[in-house]
Structures are given as C-alpha cells and as structure tokens.
Structure 1
Amino acid sequence: MPLKPETKPDVTKLVPPAQAAELERQIAAHTDAYFKRTKAIVQRTGDKTVTYAVFMRRPVIFCPRIMVEWLEKVGAARGVTFKIELLHEEGTWVGAGEPLLYLTGPMSQIVDLETLYLQKLGAACVAAYNAYSMCCDLPNVRFLAMDARHCAGAEMAELMAYAASVGGKAARRDVGAAGFIGNATDATAHYFGNEKGFGTMPHALIGYAGSTLKAAELYDETFPGEQMTVLVDYYGQEVTDALAVCNRFPEAANEGRLAVRLDTHGGRYIEGLDPQASYAVLERHVPNAIRQYRTEHELRWLVGTGVSAAAIYHMRATLDRAGFFNVKIVASSGFNAAKCKVMASVSAPIDIVGTGSYLPDSWVETYATADIVAYDGVPSVKVGREFLLRR
C-alpha cells in the first residue's frame, strides 16, 4: 500500500489530551537535550518554517511507514501540519546519500522530534536491505523472521518485522522470490498478512520432554493436526531423531505437514558427518562446489560444523531414502546474506530459512541523518551537504 507523499493531521483522529500529554512526556524524556534547548530558543525568539532532508550513508530499502505514522500522531497531538514528502515508494532501493524524504513544518514543533523519528527509520531501512539480499540469493526458499529475541525491546522487534516484510516483498517484486512468509510473534504478524506468529517448538521443549520424539508427540497431542516443525539437534542425533519422528507421524510426513529443523551449533558436525564425510556428500551432489575457490568462511558453510550445505544434503538424502520426500527441511543458525549466497551456489535443498540476528546486523550502518535544508523557503545547509538541496 503506497504511502501518501504528503500528510496532514486528520481532525477525526486527534489524540485525546491525556495521550497527547503522555506523548509529550515521552518526547521530552527521549530526545537529545540540544534539540530541546533549540526549541526553547525558537519559541522565545520567533518561529520559522523549516525543511529537513533525511538520508542515509549507505544503500537501503526504503521503510518509512512506522516513522510516518509516528509523525502523523505527533502532528495530530500538537495540532500542527507536517508536510512529509516521500521521494521514493516503500520497498524501493535507494542509494547512499540520496535524500529519502523532505519534512517541513514549524521549527518550534519539529526540531525536538529528530532523535525519535530517525530511530524509527534507519534500522528498518538497513534490515529491509538485509532481508532483500537474502531473499534474492535464495529465491525459491521461504524465510521466517525469528529475530525478536535478538532485539533490544518491543519497539526494535516491530521495526525488524516491518523491515523483513518490506524487504521480502521487494525481492518478490524484483526477482520473483518467495520472500518472508511470516515471523515468530503475534504482535507483528500483521506485517506479513498473518494473524499469528509461526513456530512450533524451542530446544526447551525437547529437554522438558526427555526426547525429540516425545516432544513431537506432546506437541501433536496439544495441537492436533497442525503443521509441525521438529528440532532435531538437541541430542546430537539429527538423522536418528528425524527418522523416528517421520516414522511416528507418517501421515503428516506424506502430506507435507511435517518438517525437521536443523539448528546444529558450530561446535560439532551433525550426526553421521565429519570433515571427510562432508566433502564426500558434496562430491556426490555438487561435485564442482569444492573445486571453486572458497574463503575460509565459505568452506565452513559448505563442509564445516553446524548447519552446512553438506549437512542439509545429508538430511535430504536420508529422508528421501526412507521415502519421506514431502518432509521439509528448515535451516537456521547463522544465516546471513553471505551464507545464503553460498547455499544458493550449491543449490542446497532448503525449504525454509529461519533467520534471527542477521536482520539487525551491521548496526553501525543503521543511522539515518537529517539536516535542515531551508528556512522560511530559503535554501541553506551546512557546507558539504549541498547534495541534499532540492534540485
């Protein structure tokens, strides 16, 4: 749904006085002191209409919605018209240094908002870029955003979920990728068109049950007939436990309602593999993979410990030999854009990727910046930022 290039307070959605007062308390508490002092000076000396240019120093996927909604709410609470001119559509790739939007309003009402609206923009734009990159690298794989527990609070979790949905949609638009189909929490599931978050069991349930099979049985008893994804690495018996669950639930396995999730940590190989066996697996399935030059990281993702390409091929071959062709493989643990690219290069048989900490990765690059570029309609910006002026 495209965002409007300009927005004005909707008199039908004026913020009640108590909510407006609380909003002002939050702004005062969380904005930088120098912005508050500037506001006081402007209020005392005389107001001006200013225009800000907002930009980022790296390429991003544009994610303005949460920021815009917040500015609309503040404008309604203050009874002020903020002109928000979005220069790109949501989900559009924007280059480093290109203005993302122009924001115009009375300086006395807008100068103390910079800290907070930038917080709601930069991280989302970078996370969407990360999501977009992964989806483009593995266009036939579906993605789940499992980053909520890696986030610094609910507000960041909302930014990441929104970003993953936008990045996934952009990849779907540009390369026909499956993209992100959902996330792990109910609160932000709506960004993906869902009512609830996805996910069946953590390692804690396996430990509680005492076995992987018992955990699957408990899940099925509690949520009968539902799609079930079973973690199989808890006891280091990925293959044995995966087959045990498939044999216990053959109907679900044959109907495609059963998946196994590989989440083996980087401290060991999955059951049945070691360095030599991992090389042999790839030699059977993608013989040219190892012959290409690879970095140390790439080799680890191909034949190393944890959830490697060899591990995924090994699990797929095991399931197929047992006749469980419709059981899906969910891969997680350390999936970033670079790992996705390596998996794509060898056509690793992944059905779904669960990605967590990578969405908010490269935090030093998430900073959005705003500079005033006009005072009462007269262009003016600090030296070196002339590229932000309207053309």
Structure 2
Amino acid sequence: MVATTQPENMDLVSDRTDAYFNRTQNIIKHYGDKEVVYAIFLRRPVVSAPRLVLRWLDNIFEKEKINATYYVAFPEGEWVGAGLPILYLKGSFEQLVPLETILLQKLGACCVAACNAFQMVQVLPNADFIAMGARHCAGYEMQELVEYAAWVGTKAAKRQSKAKGFIGTASTSTAKIFGLGTGLGTMPHALIGYAGSTVRAAEMFHEQHPDQILGVLIDYFGKEVTDGLEVCRRFSDLAAQGKIMLRLDTHGGRYLEGLNRQFSYALIMRHAPETLQRYCSEKELTHLAGMGVSAAAIWWMREKLDEAGYDKVKLIASSGFDFTKCRMIAEAKAPVDCIGTGSFIPSLWNETYATADIIAYNGQPLVKQGREFLINFARQHVPGL
C-alpha cells in the first residue's frame, strides 16, 4: 500500500528517498560525520517559490532534532537565472543526506509553475485568472505545489506591472492560499446535460447559489451565441448588474457558433490587423483565428453581447491557455475578462528537475568537476557559508 501522509518523520523520509542516500547515511555513521553545505538549483530560469519546501524543512528539523540551517539566496517571487542556487543548506551530512530526494520534489515544480504563471499574467495584465489545474495533478501534494506557484507568479507580476493575475483556485482546499474560503469556477458540462438546456442549468445554479456570480458554460450544444444571449435575456437584471459570466470552452475540433476560418481572419483584421501582418506559426494562427476558443471567438462573442445591450456581461475563456496562447490573445487585444487554466503546470516535466550539490565539507570548498560556479556564487552572495 502506498502511504499518503506527508513525509515529516525520518521513517517516511527513508521510505521515499533514493536508496543510495540511505546507504550513504549508514556509511557516514560508521566513518564519522562532516559539516556540509548543499547548493540547490535548477538548470533553467525560474521564479523562486521555496515556501513549501522551507515549511517542510522546518517541520522535519524540529521533529527530528536536525542540526542544520538554510539560506534562501532568491526570496519568494524573485527571478532566478539558469543554474543559480535558490537555496543553501548547512549542517550535519549524516542528518541531511536522506532529505535530498523530497527536498528536490518540493522545489523544482513550484519554481517552474511560478515562472509559467508569471509570464502568462504578465501578457494579460487586465484579466483575472483562475487556477483550474487540480484535475491534471498527480494527487493533492502536486496540486498544492503548483497552485501555490500560481500565487507566487501572480505576486511577482503584481510587483512589476500591477497585473491582476490569479485570484483563486477551482478547489476549496487550496483557496486559502489566495485568502479565499471556497473554490471559484462556473459549472461543468455535465450539469447542462443533466438539465437538458443551457438556460435550465443556469436557472438551477442560480436557485441553489443565488449569492454566486452566475457563471455559465455556453458551448455544450454548439450554440455559444444563441445560448449565451438566451441566458442574458432570462436573467436580464443580473446581466445589467454585471453578475453574469459566460464561459467559452469550445473544443478545438470546431468553430464557435457563427464563425469559420475566413470570417475569423476578418475579425482579427478588423480589431488587430497588425497581429496578422507579421509571421505567425501555425499554432499562433490557430490561437488567433482557428477552431476552439480563439481570439476571434472572443471578439465575436463580445460583439454579439454588446449589440444586444449586454455590455456588462463578462467573458471567461478556458481550454489550453498556456503562455503562447495568452500572448496571442493579448496581441489580438481580445476582450477577455477572466482566464480559467491549468496550463501553468509545466508541460515538459524534465524542466522541473531541481539538483543539489554539496559545495563544502567541514568548511573546505569542494564540488564535482564542472560545478565550480556554485562555489563562486556562494562566495559572492551568501554570507557565512
């Protein structure tokens, strides 16, 4: 049976760490301990997101009476260049060696996800974002790591450009990271199938949750414009108060109602012609004027709502909103109010691999060949190591 509790005692740590670290600990016990300094880094640029690993270290240090200290070279939310150590650990080799595996697990993915979130909200500073990646995670520990990272990326972006960024998550368990008591979101497609119509699903939702913003998916029947306007007519008072949010989630196998490729290009030429006057890759063109939730689809839905007098109704867009898609939506000036996304989760998992190297033994600098830069950086930037 696989344990699901947090590894916050040494028995659990030993079970989950790489076996060669446990064997190394046994060797050190026999031949004698040394004080060591670890440098922990990633090979790619990231945004520093160390809080969860530091919380884990504090707990394990206290519970197991581990004689060690740490130094954070790049505080939470700071940009970190490729290969620069984020964190240093100093203490007993015997006590620290079993911690490396879990320490790296808790740092690497956080920092890359924070970087992705930072870049996404930077290019769409006026849109709210909702972290909807829980279903894509391999369990709650990963969910907590990446949704904390979305908060860090937002914090960094707010400092630079006052971006709105991620305002919450889809689940209540991680909503507390954003200071909320509950998760955010609209409704699942399954509710619309259950209700039999988009309007009836909206009625059910509003009857049971009258204090919530009425967020409605409108792509279930392939009639985004028709169903969206019908919802607005049914709840005209809410529409006038700006308390309706229509969610575009059209899948990539068809165009939003009323669109085709040619008309989608025409929409982009009308609103942001300069976007099509440079070279675009096929993927970028799809984000602009292709099937699914494109920039053209957002513009078209906004136009139809405004024409009908529903200018206060907000649009939330979802489906594959990674950095590239966010950038193209921004270039097309598409009027989106909110993005629901889990695509800040790293897509190339090997980019999340953090690495730890010992750079000193009993006060004497020493590191494996090719990693001398870790010692040089420590000498210049880390006092007391």
Superposition TM-score tier, normalisation by shorter sequence:
over 0.9
Structure 1 partner of 2:18: 32
Aligned to 2:156: 170
From 30, 34, 58, the counterpart of 2:44: 58
What is the CA–CA distance in structure 2 between the aligned matches of 1:39 and 1:25, rounded to whole Å?
13
Q: Give, in angstroms, the shift of residue 216 of structure 1.
A: 0.5
Q: How far is the alpha carbon of 1:120 from its aligned partner?
A: 0.2
Indicate whether 1:308 and 2:294 are aligned.
yes
- Of residues 229, 234, 242, the one that matches 2:215 is 229
Q: How does 1:246-325 map to 2 (within 5 A)?
A: 246-325=232-311
Partners of 2:28 and 2:161 in 1: CA distance? 49
C-alpha contact 2:272 2:331 (8 A) present in aligned 1: no
Aligned equivalent of 2:75:
89
Aligned counterparts of 1:82 and 1:321: Cα–Cα separation in 2: 65
Structure 2 residue runs without a partner (length 5+): 380-385
Q: 2-side partners of 1:138 and 1:285: how far apart?
A: 17
The alpha carbon displacement at 1:280 in A equals 2.0
1:365–1:206 CA distance, 2 compared to 1 (3 A):
same
Letter in 1 for 2:373: F
Distance 1:109 1:225 in 2: 53
Q: For the Cα contact (< 8 Å) 1:263–1:306, is it kept in 2?
A: yes
SS at match of 1:289: helix
CA distance in 1, matches of 2:271, 2:119: 26
Q: 1:351 aligns with which of 293, 312, 337?
A: 337
What amino acid sits opposite 2:248 in the alignment? L
Does residue 1:384 correspond to 2:374, yes or no?
Answer: no
Hey, what's the Cα distance between the residues in 1 that align with 2:119 and 2:223? 33
Q: In the alignment, residue 309 of structure 1 is paired with which amino acid?
A: A
Task: Confirm whether residue 197 of structure 1 aligns to residue 219 of structure 2.
Answer: no
For residue 21 of structure 1, report the CA deviation from its aligned partner: 9.7
Which aligned segments of 4 or more residues in structure 1 are displaced greater than 4 angstroms?
19-22
- Quote how far apart the aligned CAs of 1:380 are: 0.8
SS in 2 for 1:288: helix
Measured after TM superposition, the shift of residue 329 of structure 1 is: 0.4
1:110 maps to which residue? 96
Match of 1:373 among 338, 345, 359: 359
- SS of 1:121's equivalent in the other structure is helix
What is the deviation of 1:200?
A: 2.8
Equivalent of 2:135, from 136, 146, 149?
149
SS at match of 2:118: helix
For the 8 Å contact 2:9–2:64, the answer to whether it is kept is no
Q: Conserved in 1, the CA contact under 8 Å of 2:34 and 2:92?
A: yes
Give unpaired runs (5+ residues) of structure 1. 1-18
CA distance in 1, matches of 2:284, 2:373: 39
* 8 Å contact kept, 1:150–1:357: no
CA distance in 2 between counterparts of 1:143 and 1:31 reads 36
Aligned residues: 373
In 1, distance between residues paired with 2:129 and 2:48? 20
Q: Distance in 2 between matches of 1:200 and 1:321?
A: 24
CA distance in 2, matches of 1:291, 1:47: 65
In 2, the alpha carbon distance for the partners of 1:80 and 1:282 equals 60
The alignment's TM-score, normalised by the length of structure 1, stands at 0.93
Supply the distance in 2 between the matched residues of 1:149 and 1:264 (Cα, whole angstroms): 19
Deviations 1:170-229 (A, max 9, x none): 011111111111111111111112111101311111111111111100000111132121
Shift of 1:239: 0.5
Equivalents in 2 of 1:66, 1:133: separation in Å? Answer: 21
CA distance in 1, matches of 2:175, 2:360: 40
Indicate the RMSD between aligned Cα atoms, in angstroms: 1.4
8 Å CA contact 2:7–2:13 kept in 1: the answer is no
Residue type at the aligned position of 2:61: G
CA distance change for structure 1 residues 158 and 377 in 2, over 3 Å: closer, same or farther? same
Distance 1:20 1:161 in 2: 17
Give the SS at the match of 1:277: helix
Does the 8 A contact of 2:47 with 2:153 survive in 1? yes
* 1:12 corresponds to: none
Q: Distance in 2 between matches of 1:258 and 1:81?
A: 56
Q: How far apart are the structure 2 equivalents of 1:347 and 1:238?
A: 21
